[in-house]
Amino acid sequence: MMMISCLETITCALLFFSPIVSTYPADVEKGRRRVVHVMEDDTGAVIVQTAPGKVVTHRGGTITLPCRYHHEPEDVDPNRIRIKWTKVSDAFQFEDVFVALGRQQKAFGSYIGRLSLEQTGPGDASVIIHNISLQDYGRYECEVTNDMEDDMGFVNLDLEGVVFPYYPPSGRYKLNYHQAEEVCRQQDAILASHAQLHKAWLEGLDWCNAGWLEDGSVQYPISHPRDQCGRKESPPGVRNYGYRHKDDERYDAFCFTSNLNGRVYFLKRFKKVNYPEAVKACQRDDAAIAKVGQLYAAWKIQLLDRCEAGWVEDGSIRYPIVNPRTRCGGPDPGVRNLGFPDKKFRLYGVYCFRRNTDIRSTQAQKETTTKPANGTESF
């Protein structure tokens, strides 16, 4: 990397430590370039500007990661400008995303075929990513290099969605970090970040069991302090046990999921079903039994509200409530969880998930959010 070799000179050391990555709030949308004068120097410099804060989309969406640059002197051969995008995880692991050198471009890994340079004009290093996945969430580094110099900026890609606590049929506090990652994946989700859990706490999530987060820390959100959950005198907040041993220690998980390319519904049937019958009933309806993450996404994003307990894929019994009412599990909205009964019990209905078959139906679905079945007037 350019920077390593140039660290030896005073100028480059200066460049390395000066705050030349600058942000330019309102100018991003207008596409204007605010000239940020950083250093008086005749070796020239590349200056990279990225949007402060974050850009927000959802699973399946399209997003631009904004990044602009200019360089002095301005007559640098454009074929010698290198643009490089890298994803940076909380654990400071770097994943190649995209690189362009002059007209040559290359996307890496899961970004192949769905990422391109925006190319609105000189100095534009922004990239457009299509069909955003849960894994795309995170922090991206935009680095621009010419022969002499190098600068970088960061863009945070945020997703709309929902955080949910999860524990498996085997019970509470049974998951090490890797198993927590796996159960979230099985429920159509990923381990939540601290920022996502914090946002969920602001929106009212109160959960008295500690769960793994994506960065390897273990935390839990409390809005109503009580003695069973830490101490009553402690202020509300996200309680943090810190980074725990990823193989040896066991907790629950906090998972995150985002928009669905499909619809969750309660299957209407005459009689109650046991678990194997529930799975078959969804299959016969050209669908699959819903995963926990799908039920949460439907509740949060599609406002699915149904006061009937149903099987979901992991063998738990749940139902989603948007408009709380006394007969339906208490005063707060949420997805109710009745635990993991014997799979032979014929006591419940079933929630199914049907994937959209084409892009047009995805559009149509965004426009007609599912109305709660009962009690719409209580909005």
Ligand X SMILES: *[C@@H]1O[C@H](CO)[C@@H](O)[C@H](O)[C@H]1NC(C)=O
Binding residues for ligand X, rule CB under 6 A, total 8
Note the maximum CA span of the chain.
81
- DSSP character at residue 246: T
Q: How far is CA 253 from the centre of its chain?
A: 15
d(CA 87, CA 98): 10
**Token duo for residue 378:** 């209580």
Minimum CB separation of residue 168 from ligand X in Å reads: 24
Minimum CB separation of residue 328 from ligand X in Å reads: 5
Q: Are 273 and 346 within 8 A, CB to CB?
A: yes
d(CA 277, CA 347): 11
Nearer to ligand X, 211 or 262 (CB): 262
Of the candidates 79, 369, 374, 376, which one interacts with ligand X according to CB under 6 A? 374
Nearer to ligand X, 168 or 329 (CB): 329
- 231 in contact with ligand X (CB under 6 A): no
Of the candidates 36, 99, 208, 373, which one interacts with ligand X according to CB under 6 A? 373
Minimum CB separation of residue 251 from ligand X in Å reads: 28
Query: Exposure of 363 by Cβ count < 10 A (0-12 exposed, 13-18 middle, 19+ buried)?
Result: exposed
Nearer to ligand X, 18 or 374 (CB): 374
Of the candidates 184, 301, 307, 350, which one interacts with ligand X according to CB under 6 A? 307
- DSSP character at residue 269: -
Name the residue whose CB lies closest to ligand X: 307
C-alpha closest to that of 43 among 199, 149, 190: 149
Where in 313-332 is the site for ligand X (CB under 6 A)?
325, 327-328
Minimum CB separation of residue 111 from ligand X in Å reads: 12
**Token duo for residue 90:** 């909380």
From residue 234 to residue 273, the character string flagging contacts with ligand X as x (rule: CB under 6 A) and all else as - is: ----------------------------------------
| CA 323 to each of CA 28, 330, 376: distance values in angstroms, whole numbers, following the listed order | 39, 10, 8
From residue 127 to residue 146, the character string flagging contacts with ligand X as x (rule: CB under 6 A) and all else as - is: ----x-x-------------
d(CA 148, CA 212): 44
Nearer to ligand X, 62 or 369 (CB): 62
Nearer to ligand X, 307 or 352 (CB): 307
Three-class secondary structure of residue 283 per DSSP:
helix
C-alpha closest to that of 161 among 61, 297, 54, 292: 297
Minimum CB separation of residue 376 from ligand X in Å reads: 11
Three-class secondary structure of residue 6 per DSSP:
helix
Place of tokens 């190319």: 119
Minimum CB separation of residue 27 from ligand X in Å reads: 32
- DSSP character at residue 266: E
The one-letter amino acid at 36:
V
Minimum CB separation of residue 330 from ligand X in Å reads: 13
Minimum CB separation of residue 327 from ligand X in Å reads: 5
Minimum CB separation of residue 293 from ligand X in Å reads: 14
Q: For residue 247, which phi and psi values (nearest 5 degrees)? A: -100, -35
Where in 57-76 is the site for ligand X (CB under 6 A)?
none
From residue 90 to residue 129, the character string flagging contacts with ligand X as x (rule: CB under 6 A) and all else as - is: ----------------------------------------
The residues that touch ligand X, with contacts defined as CB under 6 A, are 131, 133, 307, 325, 327-328, 373-374
